[in-house]
Amino acid sequence: MDLSAINPVLLVASLMVAATPLLLAAIGELVVERSGVLNLGVEGMMITGAIAGFAVSVETGSPYVGVLAAAVAGAALSFLFAFLTQFALANQVASGLALTLFGLGLSALMGQGYVGIRPPAMTRLDIPVLSDLPVVGPILFGHDPILYFGLLLTAAVWAFLKFTRGGLILRAVGENHDAAHALGYSVIRVRVLAILFGGACAGVGGAYISLIRVPQWTEGMTAGIGWIALALVVFASWKPWRVLLGAYLFGGINVLQLNLQAAGVAIPVEYLAMSPYLITILVLVIMSADKSGAPASLGRSFHASQ
Amino acid sequence: MIVLEKRPEPSRLLSMSTPVFAVIVTMIAGGLLFAALGKNPFEAIRTIFWDPLFGEYAFYYRPQLLVKGAPLVLIAIGLSLGFRAGIWNIGAEGQYIMGAICGAAAGLALYPSESVLIFPLMVLAGALGGWIWAMIPALLKVKFGTNEILVSLMLVYVAEQLLASMSLGLLKNPQGFGFPGSRNIAEWEAANSWIAQDYGMHWGVVAAMIAVIMAYVLLNKHILGFNIRLTGEARRAARFAGVNPTRLILFCLGTSGMLAGLAGLFEVAGPSGQVSIDFNVGYGFTAIIVAFLGRLHPVGILLAGLLMALTYIGGDIAESQMGLPASAIQVFQGMLLFFLLALDLLTNYRVKLAMKGTA
């Protein structure tokens, strides 16, 4: 075992990379849940985004077009969920599970021809002086654009929910859909838009895994990150900045356990690999005492006749 | 303009017939999918749904129906109890793995004894393993109010890692020339779960049948079953009627975990034969579809489980004969749940045409 092989600067830099897919998926789901909808299909949308982004990048040669395609694919899949829960008024838990099961199958089917290929790389940010700085350079100025996009998106979602009229309407719909309906807001329209946004975010998060984090395609490669993103929203008490904090925390744990695996710690690999899931459970237990942040209409169907 | 009008009560007739409609619609959509993959859709549907039952080699495939159907029915029966009461155990896959690990470990510890007590001991250990794994989310839910969906699901990934660790470490066959995986339990006379291998009969099939009957009696004749149904349909009313939600959560999650654990044990001691890294094939997740497709009703689940088993077997045949990718069947199964949920709209609402502006 050689712990000195772990470079703290690289650790922080790779922590940010590991956290980004979680952050993207969780910030999307946060908006969905703030509108009063519980979409358990994050894992399915992420993996679909992962293969859609990967396939389009390989075919077009441009990772940016790929990321865009991943957003479209995630949103398209989430539209199925929106249709089921908002128009057909199906149970949200069951519909979300259906989305995940379907997405896992669909991605495996789409990804058959793409195993073992390397996708085109995304250029990293390279600012002449800043990126070459020791310590600060690789941590702050040496990443791919999507990572910065994730941070910007977090800020944008925060500002949207806090300062804009649209954000207020979205929160009203999530807290009390009957009151929002009585005020003349279209509950269904707001929720469908939120679901589509969440789907697009999850899709981009998935593409980040297959295009940048790993980067290659393997079946089921999201390995529960979508579910951890769901737990992260609970952890964050439905607040955007806390999602960021949580994502970096989980990213850190994951990177650390991978580093420990590589450094040859005396703990068997399998037990290190289960640590992110166990820590998620632990965090859920700690956070579940406080449910005050949860939108009051979360998970309830809305139909104007009721 | 189409408007929906809530039915005072869900239509019973439609509730029973929507699964059939969903299967038909899925066959059509699946046919289109297969056509898009460049396969003849009619041939594909026939290969999946007809050949395993009545084709030339049906004598070989029919027993498989029991082998693949038993774990699905066993797990889905357990899940349906919780689903009815709004308790969502979606980590059955993990409980299935733990049942297999614990059951196999209990047996292998006594290898190569030929005592008649070995198999009953393994059954007990398997049930206990699944039960304990499900009690984790159950206890966290009743103690701290933690979301059981996320915890039970996280434990699937933990169980998968444990399975890898076991098949490479503790349970590895000492005479296996270093290959991963345990000793072959199916070849061990005192410990295998087969009753009549040629007919696909193993103790899991018996257990599944008993579970169907017990669940039917429980839900229709017993106060506990009534409380489960009451909680699902009117939570507040159930509280006023004195239903203890804590006990209900412990019972529903515990029972579903136990049944999933049993399914895992019967699988590892029979059809699968050994604890290995890729021992689990997703029965725990497919069972969720089975439970919904069977309308959370024991008899419905029995039929739905057999149908799902058919798609597994037919999918295998289509894969080897037509080159249909295995994942196409997974998509097919996912679509089935989608269409079922969408068609449920008709059970709960009347669809009416209305002039715009009259309301």
- Comparing alpha-carbon positions, the chain A residue that sits nearest to B163 is A270
Band of the pLDDT at B194, cuts 50, 70, 90? Answer: confident
Pairwise CA distance, residues B32 & B22, whole Å: 15
| Spans of all domains in chain B | 72-301
Interface check A113 vs B, CB under 8 A: no
State the helix-helix crossing angle for A165-175 and A145-163, rounded to 10 degrees: 80
Q: What is the residue-wise DSSP string for B232-266?
A: HH-HHHHHHTT--HHHHHHHHHHHHHHHHHHHHHH
Pairwise CA distance, residues B231 & B141, whole Å: 16
pLDDT for res A125: 66
Distances (CA, A) of B54 to B51, B194, B207: 5, 25, 27
Q: Is B351 helix (H, G, I), strand (E, B) or coil?
A: strand
CB contact under 8 A, A88 and B150: no
> What is the per-residue pLDDT across B68-122, written as a single tens digit (0 to 9) for each?
999 999 999 999 999 998 889 989 999 999 999 999 999 888 878 778 888 899 9
Q: Which residues of A touch B140 (CB under 8 A)?
A: 281, 284-285, 288
Percent of chain B scored above 90 by pLDDT? 31
Minimum distance, in Å, between the CA of residue B288 and any CA atom of chain A? 9
Q: Which residues of B touch A273 (CB under 8 A)?
A: 161
> What is the per-residue pLDDT across B288-333, written as a single tens digit (0 to 9) for each?
989 988 989 999 999 999 999 998 898 888 888 888 888 888 888 8
Q: Is the peptide bond before B120 cis (omega within 30 degrees of 0)?
A: no
Average pLDDT over residues B261-278: 88
Greater confidence (B359 vs B300) lies with B300
The complex's ipTM works out to 0.86
Q: Is the peptide bond before B325 cis (omega within 30 degrees of 0)?
A: no
- Comparing alpha-carbon positions, the chain B residue that sits nearest to A109 is B327
Minimum distance, in Å, between the CA of residue A123 and any CA atom of chain B? 33
Inter-residue contact B208 to B77 (CB < 8 Å): yes
- Identify any residues that bridge with B3 across adjacent strands, giving them in sequence order: B352
CB contact under 8 A, A93 and B288: no
- Comparing alpha-carbon positions, the chain A residue that sits nearest to B289 is A98
Token pair listed for A122: 């995304």
Minimum distance, in Å, between the CA of residue A175 and any CA atom of chain B? 20
Q: Is B195 helix (H, G, I), strand (E, B) or coil?
A: strand
Average pLDDT over residues B335-351: 83
> What is the per-residue pLDDT across A227-259, written as a single tens digit (0 to 9) for each?
889 888 888 888 888 899 889 888 888 888 888
> What are the structural domains, with CATH classification, of chain A?
3-126+137-287 (1.10.3470.10)
Inter-residue contact B302 to A86 (CB < 8 Å): no
Interface check A91 vs B, CB under 8 A: yes
Token pair listed for B44: 């594909």
- CA-closest candidate to residue B89, choices B75, B79, B74: B79
Inter-residue contact B110 to B118 (CB < 8 Å): yes
Interface check A195 vs B, CB under 8 A: no
Does residue B359 register a pLDDT over 50? no
Pairwise CA distance, residues A175 & B356, whole Å: 30
Nearest to B5 among A80, A102, A305 (CB): A305
> What is the per-residue pLDDT across B200-213, written as a single tens digit (0 to 9) for each?
788 889 999 999 99
State the helix-helix crossing angle for A240-263 and A8-34, rounded to 10 degrees: 140
What does each of the 306 residues of chain A score in pLDDT, given as a tens digit?
456 666 777 778 888 888 899 999 999 999 999 998 889 899 999 999 999 999 998 888 888 898 999 999 999 999 999 998 888 888 888 889 889 989 988 888 888 888 878 877 777 766 766 666 766 666 676 678 888 888 999 999 999 988 998 888 888 888 888 888 888 888 888 899 999 999 999 999 999 988 888 888 888 888 888 988 988 888 888 888 889 988 988 888 888 888 887 777 777 888 888 888 898 899 888 887 766 677 877 877 777 764
Interface check A115 vs B, CB under 8 A: no
CB contact under 8 A, A94 and B337: yes
Pairwise CA distance, residues B121 & B268, whole Å: 14
> What is the per-residue pLDDT across B118-141, written as a single tens digit (0 to 9) for each?
889 999 999 999 999 999 999 999
CB contact under 8 A, A84 and B341: yes
Tell me the average pLDDT of chain B: 86
Give one word for A36, left, alpha or beta, with left for phi > 0 and alpha for psi -120 to 50: left
Minimum distance, in Å, between the CA of residue A294 and any CA atom of chain B? 13
Minimum distance, in Å, between the CA of residue B82 and any CA atom of chain A? 13
End-to-end CA distance of chain B: 11
